[in-house]
Amino acid sequence: MARVVVDVMLKPEILDPQGQAVQRALPRLGFSGITDVRQGKRFELEVEGPVDAAALARIREMAETFLANTVIEDFDVRVQS
């Protein structure tokens, strides 16, 4: 069984209020030197059978239509070794 990871992040031009809140809190907690934080989502999919080109195409379709809002989010699909 293989694992495929789908990372979903807001597009760079989209405001990330959760990331900004984390970034503002870090200095108060003693973590300095962080200039920007972007928050996203990570999906780990256990895939039955081989992860071939057809399986990756289906997972990309799933990410584009269900896991990510492609108007405001980008996504990346990769096989985890």
For 8-46, give the DSSP string: EEE-TTS--HHHHHHHHHHHHTT---------EEEEEEE
Answer yes or no: is pLDDT of 28 > 90. Answer: yes
pLDDT of residue 81: 76
Closest CA to 76 of 23, 15, 17, 11: 11
pLDDT of residue 25: 98
pLDDT of residue 19: 97
Structural domains in the chain, sorted by start? 2-80 (3.30.1280.10)
- Tokens at 12, concatenated: 């760079």
pLDDT of residue 1: 84
3-state secondary structure of 68: coil
Answer yes or no: is pLDDT of 32 > 80. Answer: yes
Which pLDDT tens digit goes with each residue over 43-76?
999 999 999 999 999 999 999 999 999 999 999 9
